[in-house]
Structure 1
């Protein structure tokens, strides 16, 4: 059951990025790497699951170059496709997870920041953040770091949702109280972990979007 948000008690809003602000397709990178490697999608998906370097990348344990090299080495072991993909080829395939960004969501965030302190908390990678910011600025919109008071990225913090520590870090770093804070995320585990700390955690679930969940906030 979703909590009922009371604007009178709220001072702070924390947003997830993927499937809250920007729609994503988690299967798209697998499809694209499979096409590039001339391999079945299921085989690429199995390799990704067996070699869990993505978690290392999103928690800052490896950098962009190490991530790209992991992709090259992994595919080269199991594919007869041309080796040595350029950085741009890997980045482009990796960024296909990001779908079109609805400008109305950005405009709503800009409205909300006149009334609330706004923060971003995302399990993500530097390649994705650079791409989102490129899309935003190409639309004439502020970059994420300008749109929010503070952005919290898993790769910077070296921890990820749903670890309780990441939520506590945000509360402490921002100097905000859990009970005065709403958190919007699409993942049920992330929502549960935030709620256990007293945050008003709201799961964004299709067919509803972020806009539906914040429509009653002035």
Structure 2
């Protein structure tokens, strides 16, 4: 069944996958950076998303030291090489890296490289994790 959609209608629907910004996570990102930690974002994206979400959510860009987008890298999570790329580019060791994701396959991919990986189940996962670390 064909649905007649304009590009604008399709694009708007495609962007609907993004959930609301989480100010508590942005605050944690800023606090980590203030403490001297490097904070990076690794996101699976496509051509439409690479232009949409960095512009729509500048708070993320401002809270991160760097944003790695799969569309730009030509690889996607959970491929081992995307995690290896970020580790190498940042000079991170797997044992000193914490990775958060809402996809279990992506968590498993990072775990296989020795990265501490936390499955985000709800909006409390990240704040709860850092409540212990940032006290």
* TM more than 0.5: yes
Q: Please list the CA deviations of residues 111-169 of structure 1 after superposition, one character each: whole Å capped at 9, or x if unmatched.
A: 121121111111112422433233334xxx3x52x432221111111111111111111
Normalization by structure 1: what TM-score? 0.55
Cα distance in 2 for partners of 1:127, 1:87 equals: 11
> Could you tell me which of 80, 96, 116 is aligned with 1:180?
96
> Could you tell me which of 108, 113, 123 is aligned with 1:197?
113
- Which has the higher Rg, Structure 1 or Structure 2? 1
Runs of 4+ in 1 over 6 A off after TM superposition: none
Matched, 1:119 2:35: no
Shift of 1:89: 1.8
Q: Structure 1 147/208 Cα, relative in aligned 2: closer, same or farther at 3 Å?
A: closer
> Could you tell me which of 18, 21, 29 is aligned with 1:109?
29
Aligned to 2:57: 136
Q: Please list the CA deviations of residues 40-98 of structure 1 after superposition, one character each: whole Å capped at 9, or x if unmatched.
A: xxxxxxxxxxxxxxxxxxxxxxxxxxxxxxxxxxxxxx32x54xx43322211111112
Task: Give yes or no for contact 1:162–1:193 (8 Å, CA) kept in 2.
Answer: yes
Q: Which runs of 5+ in 2 are unaligned?
A: none
Structure number with the bigger relative contact order (C-alpha 8 A, sep ≥ 6) is 1
Cα distance in 2 for partners of 1:126, 1:213 equals: 32
Structure 2 matches for 1:71-90, cutoff 5 A? 78-79=1-2, 81-82=3-4, 85-90=5-10
Task: Give yes or no for contact 1:120–1:152 (8 Å, CA) kept in 2.
Answer: yes
Task: Give yes or no for contact 1:159–1:166 (8 Å, CA) kept in 2.
Answer: yes
Aligned to 1:46: none
Aligned to 2:78: 162
Cα distance in 1 for partners of 2:129, 2:8 equals: 37
Q: Which runs of 5+ in 1 are unaligned?
A: 1-77
**Matched length:** 133
Normalization by structure 2: what TM-score? 0.84
